[in-house]
Every structure is written in C-alpha cells, then in structure tokens.
Structure 1
Amino acid sequence: MHPAFYPDGPRLLADIGGTNARFALERAPGQLSAVRTLACDAYPRFEDAVSAYLASVGIAVQHAAIAIANPVDGDAVRMTNHHWAFSTAGAAHELGLETLLVVNDFTALAMSLPGLMPADLVKVGGGATRPGAAIGLVGAGTGLGVSGLVPNGAGGWTPLQSEGGHVAFSPADEREVAVLRHCWERYSHVSAERLVSGPGLALIREALAARQGLVFETLEPAGIVARGLAGDDPLCLETLECFAGMLGTVAANLAVTLGARGGIYIGGGVVPRLGEWFARSPFRARFEHKGRFSDFTAAIPTLLITAPCPALLGAGRMLGDHLGDHLGERAGAHALATAPAPMPVTREREHAHC
C-alpha cells in the first residue's frame, strides 16, 4: 500500500448542485478516482443517489464529505434549488457511514483555491494577485454561489460560508433597469441569483424580448448559449452580453466588499460553456467600471477556474481537517486553516478538534 493512502480505506466525496451530483473516491490526499456524475432528478432522495454511486463502484466507505449547494446550519438540510431534504444524522445511519461531513459547496470550492495550479485557471483581463490578500469566489450554475478566503494571520486561510448570491440584484444601466422592472412583475424580491445563473439566462431573454416587443420561442439555457455564441440570434447574443455584464457587477461588488486583492475566482457551470467569447464579453469592462474604485478593481485579476473537480478537492481537504489527518493539502499548495464549523456527524470516534 502506498504510504499516502488512507489506512481506513477510500473516502467518499460529493459535489451536489441543483441539477447534477458529482461523486468521487479519494484514496489519498488529492487523488480522486471513479468520478461520476448523476442527475439529481433521477433519484427521489439524496440517500438514493449516494447508494447508487457506492453500488456502482462496489466499495464500502467509512468517511464522506458532501459539498452541497445550500446553506448548512444544523442537522436538517433542505436544498434551495432542488427537492432533496435530509437529516445529516439519519443519512449517515442509513448509509452506514462513520463520518458524514456536510458543507456548503462554495465553501468547499473556496478551500481548493490556494491549491490550484496555473493550468487550472484562465485569466480574464489584467491585474495581479497580491500575496496574503483576501480572495473572492463567485460562480453561476443552477444558482449563484459566493464565497472567499480571508488570511488568518498565521499563513493560512479562513473560508467564508456565504449566501451572497441572494443579495438584491443591482442594475447598472437602463437595460438592466428594464430587466429588473420585468422581474418585479413576478417577484417581490429579485436577487442577483435570479438573473446571474443558468435559469437566469432564460429570464433575461424573456425580459429583453418584452422590452423590445418581440415574440419569441422558449429556450433552455443551453440553447440560449448555443445560439448566442453562433452569432445568428441577436436576442440570445444580447442575453449573453447582459448576463456577462451582470456577473461583472456581482464580481466587482464582491471585490470591494472583501478587499479581494488576492483575485476574484470564477466557478460554476455557466461561464466555462461560454468559451473564448467570455474574455471578449462585457464582463471585465463592467468589473473595472466601479466609479471612484475603478482603479481598485482594475488592479484585481479575475480568474476562471477550469480544473475538473475543484469542489471535490476542497471537500476532501475539509474532511481531512475534520478527521485530524492534515493530509488533504495538494502538493505545492499554501497551508489552509481549518474550516469554520460545518455540520459533521461522527459516530464511534472522537476527534480532538471537531
């Protein structure tokens, strides 16, 4: 057995969003295998999806970390953008797990950032990271995730457990004011997530069509992206441009809120699908358009995460910290601080710093 392999066997890691659940086994720190993606809608319960994955790999595990697109506060977990709801203790018992650590997905993603390599990132625009400064994280998928890392004063980092995607949407021009007015006809509160997300693409397109008096067919987000990038559908292209500008505002607001001179990282499933077009989009110009703080944001780099499983790696690090092995750091990464009290369930074992 390789000396770095976990002596009690592989660990189960999962990254669960509103649409898909990605699972993997971690046999040693940062070494993932059997990575598989399951559609959430294919399983009535969270426990059913986990059981199906474990049956498919044919391996029993003792310890698991679940990064989930949801606030995590207490034993009860109820997803915001999906119908799954479960008790952490009950799920651990049913699945036969000694440890089940449930954490916010963007907190886990934030924990992976200092370990990402240059090949895992694409820089959009200018700016340079300032070592030891706060780092921001934002990502659009089924919802809008927000997190970050704050230096802890001891050479490590403290991740933020944030629900910043639910701040009120902030329009930056007349077109976005019109989009907001359209949304107000349906929603009493319009969050940033309502528009800066995969489902938000459809809502933006609907609002733009209403503003122009256009008759349009309903499209799924993937169709909007495909038609917009093809360049032969002006409404879809305008939708992508509007989305990118809105994301730029969200990212800039996060940058000035955190003082994120260490960079703003972009995760989530939507932006990677925009490909090279995203670098030419209104995103970076909007990010730098911050009034008296334009020079401040212009100096901050924006970095698109292209690593295939970063949230899984972050969840693995958090599980390693929880279990006390401190082995979850990727080679060459900066030391990370222990995460702030996620909601673990541990049976038949005591851990000194849990």
Structure 2
Amino acid sequence: MSSGTGVLAGDVGGTKTLLALYAVRGHNLQLLREARYASADFDGLADMLVNFLAGEPVAAAGFGVAGPVAGGRCQATNLPWLLDEGELSAVLGGVPVKLLNDLEAVALGLLQVPDGAFVCLNAGRAMEGNIAVLAAGTGLGEAILHRHDGNYSAIACEGGHCDFAPADALQDGLLLFLRERCGGHVSYERILSGSGLHLVYQYLLTRNPELPDVLQGLDGSGEDPAALIAQRGLEQDDAACRLALRLFARIYGQEAGNLALKCLARGGVLLAGGIAPKLLPVLSDGSFMAGFCDKGRFADLLRDMPVRVCLEPQAPLLGAATAAARLA
C-alpha cells in the first residue's frame, strides 16, 4: 500500500489528458502540480501515470473519462483505451481508484469552484435542491447534482444523446436538414457542440442563400470552422454567423430547461464546458433564457431557477480530486 498523502486526479479526453496532484486540507484541495499530455502519445493511461508521478506515492486517485462507467470499468469514447479501476490501482501501488464519467467529475468539481468564477445568466430565486449541469464542447455532456440530507451526489447521464425536439418552424427545418446530413437520429449533441454550430450555420445558409459564406475556401486550411463562426458572429460583422449563434443559444437554453424540469433543479442550472465561456455575450443577450423558459405552463418555474456559467477550466480535475479525496 502506498504511503503517499496527496491525491491524483485526471481528466481523460480523446485529444488531451490532464493530470494533477492535490493536497487535501480539510474540505479544501490545494493544487501541487499538474501536466498536460497528448492522449495519442500513449498506449494507455497507466503509462501516462508512471510518467507523471515518477515514483511519487499517492493516497488515492480519481479519473474523469468521456464514456459510461460500469463495474469499475470504462471504454473511453474517443480513445482505444479500456480503463479498469483494479488495474490502475495496481499501477499506483494498491491505492483506491475511482473512475467517473467526465460530466460526473465536472459536476463534483463545480461544487469546489468559488462564486467569483461564475457568471450569472438568470438570478432566479436561490433555493436548496437539485442542480442541473450541462457542458457543451466537443460533445454535449449532462449530469445532475442530487441534494439529499444537505449533501450533493453527482449522477452521470447521457442526456446529450436524447432526441432533438424542435420548438418552432425554423427548428423543424433544422431537424429535417440534420436528419439528412446525419443519416437518421438527431440528438441535441448534433447541435450543441463545436461541430453542431458548424451544421447550424450551414443550415441557415440554405435558408438564406443571399448571405455570403465566411467558410468558403477554408477547407484544408486547418482552421476550426466553429471558431471562425463564433468569432465573426460575436464581432457582429456577418449576418449568417450572428443568426447561427442566436439559434445555437436558444436551443442550448431549451435543452437546459428540459434537464432542469426532469430533475426539478430548484438549486439552479450550471453551464460548464469550453463553449459557454466563449459565447457569453450571445448567451447573455436573452436568446438562451428565452429558450430555457419556453416551457408553457411551467415557464414561471424555470424563471425562478438560477442559471450560471462556470469560467473555471479546472472543474473536471477538481471533481476527480474530490472523488479521490473521499477514498483517501
């Protein structure tokens, strides 16, 4: 058994993996050191851990992974890695190890983030209760923070893969467009992601052929289409990009409202992930909250729910470290 006192945390992604070592100070976590690795450079997580720790012992470890976790095992969604708690424990000297769905880790981490790292989209009425968590980035992750006896536990889910439900005629057309492009099933993740923003933009060009295509000639340049659409839309210098951002924000609000109703999120809604901080101006202009509250007879219930955006990129690591600290 290891004699280490720190806890090891990891945020395992298809492109990059972040590892960090934390000291546990009561209920607080103190970052000691961290490193970023290109996931494709390693055959598995075990080799990466050996490189990072270089023989330093730890008391416990937690890892957030994009993919469903069952029985202490997880097949990473965007990596050829099968992660196993027992095997990782052996690599770390027999210490306890916890694998978490990536959004489960994000949700736990948000509880550690100070209030100053959030931006308010809707003040609502702060109450004790469940919290809905959504994170749009490469995909759309969702989780629930369930409140019971004064404490929160994180519940992982795959709600981003639920069926997209159009709310008006414009979105009806988007569904038909995506059904043809995607070959059938259209989930919210097909829209609320980086690649989804690109698809929304392409759809709007088919409806407005008189508008110029800012992506023309971009193929092969290596530039991210979604990043360019966001940049031009936020700069207010391209009509199609502005329309795409507003439609994206409204649908993001609709799905956030869906999750908030399903878990009765009286404790509020938290947006994490890489997209929300970059699109704060459009999320704050009313489009998001219009979609969020568009729930018929339950509109007033949604208006009472606080909605905030997390600006802290370390939330996934903090959540994995929190899970590890509970084992140490």
Common topology (TM > 0.5): yes
Other-structure match for 1:187:
183
Q: Is the 8 A contact 1:138 1:251 kept in 2?
A: yes
Other-structure match for 1:125:
122
- 1:40 CA drift (Å): 3.0
Q: Is the 8 A contact 1:18 1:143 kept in 2?
A: no
Q: Is the 8 A contact 1:244 1:282 kept in 2?
A: yes
Which residue, out of 163, 169, 185, partners 1:168?
A: 163
Which residue, out of 201, 204, 209, partners 1:208?
A: 204
Which residue, out of 254, 258, 265, partners 2:263?
A: 258
Structure 2 vs 1, CA of residues 284 and 82 (structure 1 numbering), >3 Å: closer, same or farther? farther
Other-structure match for 1:243:
248
Paired letter, 1:311: P
Which residue, out of 271, 277, 286, partners 1:272?
A: 277
Question: 3-state DSSP class of the match of 2:267?
Answer: coil
Which digits, 9 at most, give the CA deviation of each residue in 1:305-348, with x for residues without a partner?
1223122222222112233xxxxxxxxxxxxxxxxxxxxxxxxx
- 1:230 CA drift (Å): 1.9
Counterpart mapping for 1:38-57 below 5 A:
38-55=37-54
Question: 3-state DSSP class of the match of 1:322?
Answer: coil
Identity of aligned residues (%): 32
Q: Is the 8 A contact 1:19 1:142 kept in 2?
A: no
What is the alpha-carbon distance in structure 1 between the residues aligned to residue 41 and residue 253 of structure 2? 34
- 1:82 CA drift (Å): 3.9
**TM-score, structure 2 normalization:** 0.86
Paired letter, 1:54: L
Q: Is the 8 A contact 1:15 1:68 kept in 2?
A: yes
Q: Is the 8 A contact 1:129 1:261 kept in 2?
A: yes
Question: 3-state DSSP class of the match of 1:77?
Answer: strand
What is the alpha-carbon distance in structure 2 between the residues aligned to residue 48 and residue 126 of structure 1? 46
Paired letter, 1:183: L
More deviation, 85-94/269-278:
85-94
Other-structure match for 2:221:
none
More deviation, 201-210/211-220:
211-220
What is the alpha-carbon distance in structure 2 between the residues aligned to residue 87 and residue 315 of structure 1? 15
- 1:260 CA drift (Å): 0.6
Question: 3-state DSSP class of the match of 2:277?
Answer: helix
- 1:79 CA drift (Å): 2.1
- 1:246 CA drift (Å): 1.0
Q: Is the 8 A contact 1:67 1:105 kept in 2?
A: yes
Other-structure match for 1:31:
30
What is the alpha-carbon distance in structure 1 between the residues aligned to residue 85 and residue 225 of structure 2? 33
What is the alpha-carbon distance in structure 2 between the residues aligned to residue 317 and residue 94 of structure 1? 21
**TM-score, structure 1 normalization:** 0.80
What is the alpha-carbon distance in structure 1 between the residues aligned to residue 200 and residue 39 of structure 2? 25
- 1:120 CA drift (Å): 2.0
More deviation, 218-227/161-170:
218-227
What is the alpha-carbon distance in structure 1 between the residues aligned to residue 97 and residue 300 of structure 2? 45
Give the superposed CA RMSD: 2.4
Q: Is the 8 A contact 1:196 1:243 kept in 2?
A: yes
What is the alpha-carbon distance in structure 2 between the residues aligned to residue 212 and residue 43 of structure 1? 46
Q: Is the 8 A contact 2:108 2:154 kept in 1?
A: yes
Paired letter, 1:180: L
Other-structure match for 2:141:
145
Counterpart mapping for 1:1-354 below 5 A:
8-29=4-25, 30-55=29-54, 59-61=56-58, 63-94=60-91, 96=93, 98-131=95-128, 133-152=129-148, 154-185=149-180, 186-213=182-209, 216-217=215-216, 219-280=224-285, 282-323=287-328
Runs of at least 5 residues in structure 1 that lack an aligned partner in the other structure? 1-5, 324-354
